[in-house]
């Protein structure tokens, strides 16, 4: 089992992760003990403390706050309006000149002319096939 006091554990830790770890250490709990009390996985605790989870579910935060005995007045959960908006994907535009995609009827007709003539389809007559 990896120690939760590794050298890189604090690298990239978000504000919530640092706060969670401070409350956990103040309560003298290991990540495993907190996970058992809160009813969440140890991995969730680790990912939160390391900042890998940036937007935990409000229910998870409530479970952790209950397990840590944090008073209701100190549980200021960020609302959706407080969170940074998700980055929207960049818009894609077609190039202004799309001549390379249109006006190919003449080329297609020439290519069709190079193809061998299609074979005459057969007729189905009961009992025999004619070509």
In a domain, 53, yes or no: yes
Does residue 88 sit within a domain? no
What is the rounded CA–CA span in Å between residue 10 and residue 20? 12
Q: What's the confidence (pLDDT) of residue 33?
A: 95
Range of the domain at 50: 15-74
- Look at residue 98 and tell me if it is in a domain: no
CATH number at residue 37: 1.10.260.40
pLDDT value at 80 more than 60:
no
Quote the number of domains for the chain: 1
Cα angle 97-100-105, degrees, rounded to a multiple of 5: 125
**Whether the predicted pLDDT of 102 surpasses 90:** no
**3-class SS string, the chain:** CCCCCCCCCCCCCCHHHHHHHHHHHHCCCCHHHHHHHHCCCHHHHHHHHCCCCCCCCHHHHHHHHHHHCCCHHHCCCCCCCCCCCCCCCCCCCCCCCCHHHCCCHHHHHHHHHHCCCCCCCCEEECCEEEC
**48 compared with 101, residue with greater pLDDT:** 48
**Mean pLDDT of the 44-70 span:** 92
Q: What's the Cα-to-Cα distance from 42 to each of 38, 39, 67, 130, rounded to whole Å? A: 10, 9, 14, 76
Q: In this structure, is residue 39 part of a structural domain?
A: yes
Indicate the pTM of the whole model.
0.50
Q: Is residue 128 part of a domain?
A: no
Q: Is pLDDT larger for residue 5 or for residue 90? A: 90
Query: Mind listing the pLDDT tens digit for each residue in 10-27?
Result: 444 567 888 899 999 999
Q: Which of 75, 58, 66 is nearest to 19 (CA)?
A: 75
């Amino acid at each position: 089992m990896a120690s939760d006091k590794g050298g890189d554990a604090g690298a990239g830790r978000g504000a919530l992760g640092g706060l969670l770890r401070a409350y956990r250490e103040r309560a003298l709990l290991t990540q495993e003990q907190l996970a058992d009390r809160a009813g969440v996985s140890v991995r969730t605790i680790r990912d939160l403390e390391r900042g890998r989870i940036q937007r935990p579910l409000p229910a998870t935060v409530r479970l952790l706050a209950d397990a840590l005995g944090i008073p209701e007045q100190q549980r200021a959960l960020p609302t959706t309006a407080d969170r940074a908006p998700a980055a929207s994907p960049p818009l894609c535009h077609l190039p202004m000149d799309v001549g390379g995609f249109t006006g190919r009827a003449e080329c297609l007709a020439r290519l069709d002319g190079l193809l061998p003539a299609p074979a005459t389809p057969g007729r189905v007559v009961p009992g025999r096939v004619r070509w």
